[in-house]
Amino acid sequence: MRLLYLGASIANNLANPLANNIRFCDHQELQNLKLGHDEYARFLDLIKTNTKVKQLALVSTCNRFELFIYAEEIENLAQELPEQMASLIKTPELLSSLFDDDARLHFYRTFCGLNSGLIGEGEVCLQIETSFRQCFTMGYLGLEGIALLESAKQLKQALEESQHLETSSYCKVAIDSVIEKLPKLPDSVVVLGSGSTAMQSCLALIDAGISASQITLVHRTSSSSYQVCGFNENNDLSKMQFIRSKDGYHVTKVKELVMSSDMAIFAIDSRLPVFNIPKNLKTVLVDFNSHPSVTFEIGIDLMNYFSCQRLDKFIREYSSRILANPDKFKQIQAVEERLAQLRSSDLVHF
């Protein structure tokens, strides 16, 4: 079967060798492509109504909206599917397409953190793996998609072992940038979410000097879910407090918890705000959600609100400083060149 990529992403600070074929967009445009959790399966079901589609996976994060589709014939699909999507996403015309080798190379490049606001971002591979395995579990993706994922993991490991690739943490850079602006470390932090962004945020907090016992994780999933179990299996995170809010993040008990903490981190993916923030709130709000997770009373001082766009500015400033280092820039270029040389015969075994 052949591989089709349909997607859009936010451009990074380094030239993408596929840039002429990929649609880059800003945060506002990306918001029009985002899906809520309740729409995820409905969207994939809609795509599967096209009988040409055999397998598919959706990667939807704060920096990208990308579909990877397996089919026997893909050129016409690239024209047909955006029209089908119009009922669920606002601007399907933002999507661009890549075929076969170019689609695979883009997947590898993204998995290795080269198509990210922070060059070498480590979280993106976790987000992609979670998305692919979720689609596999739900029956949308087959063995071809898992083979693509595994080959990307092999490539990333090979690049790291050869010291051609150093990974950075998007969440760590963002949270460190926020903490630098505070007069002191927060005594209590609430993290909303249970995915890779939530986990990396918690690790970044601990690395910054905040004790795990000072962090409360609020999640919607079952306490036995693999996401929450992943936190408990990590020695650095197992001492956190865990609170399940199965009815969502908009409920009163979650709002009260946020209001009483020194810092709240929104590591969620929601198209609608979860609650309104009063004027007198002193809590520092860190929002990784590309859609604002909260609304504000009129007249509120937004200095303590670090939106996704504001965090992205910190990331790009940090990335620019990294790329100003000639040795680092040459290292990234070497990875780009190696990826650009990969063709079909190399894509699984290298």
- What SS3 state is found at 3? strand
Distances (CA, A) of 183 to 47, 49, 178, 243: 50, 54, 11, 28
**How does the average pLDDT of the chain come out, rounded?**
87
Residues of the chain below pLDDT 70:
18, 223-226, 343-350
- What SS3 state is found at 210? coil
Tokens 């936010």 — which residue? 10
Per-residue b or e along 91-109, where b marks 16 or more CB atoms closer than 10 Å to that residue's CB = bbebbbbbbeebbbbbbbb
Q: In this predicted model, what pLDDT tens digit does every residue of 20-31 receive, in sequence order?
A: 788 888 888 888
Note the pLDDT of residue 225: 64
Q: In this predicted model, what pLDDT tens digit does every residue of 6-20 receive, in sequence order?
A: 999 888 877 777 677
DSSP string, 95-161: -EEEEHHHHHHHHHHHHTTSSSSSTTBSHHHHHHHHHHHHHHHTTS--HHHHHHHHHHHHHHHHHHH
Note the pLDDT of residue 349: 43
Among residues 44, 10, 33, 5, the alpha carbon closest in space to that of 91 is found at 33
Give the phi and the psi of residue 56 in degrees, each rounded to 5: -160, 155
- What CATH number belongs to 2-167+325-343? 3.30.460.30
What is the CB-side half-sphere exposure of residue 88 using CA atoms within 13 A? 18
| End-to-end Cα distance, the chain | 21
Note the pLDDT of residue 43: 92
Note the pLDDT of residue 258: 95
Fold of 170-306: Rossmann fold (3.40.50)
Q: What is the pTM of this model?
A: 0.81
In angstroms, the CA 319 to CA 314 distance is 9
Domain ranges of the chain: 2-167+325-343, 170-306
Q: What is the DSSP secondary structure assignment for residue 278, as one 8-state letter?
A: P
Q: In this predicted model, what pLDDT tens digit does every residue of 40-56 receive, in sequence order?
A: 888 999 999 999 999 99
Note the pLDDT of residue 346: 54
Note the pLDDT of residue 52: 95
Residue 21 neighbours by CB under 8 Å, 6+ apart: 96, 97, 98, 102
Going by their DSSP bridges, the two strands 96-99 and 2-9 should be labelled as: antiparallel
Q: Is the dihedral of CA 218, 220, 222, 228 positive or negative?
A: negative
- What SS3 state is found at 21? coil
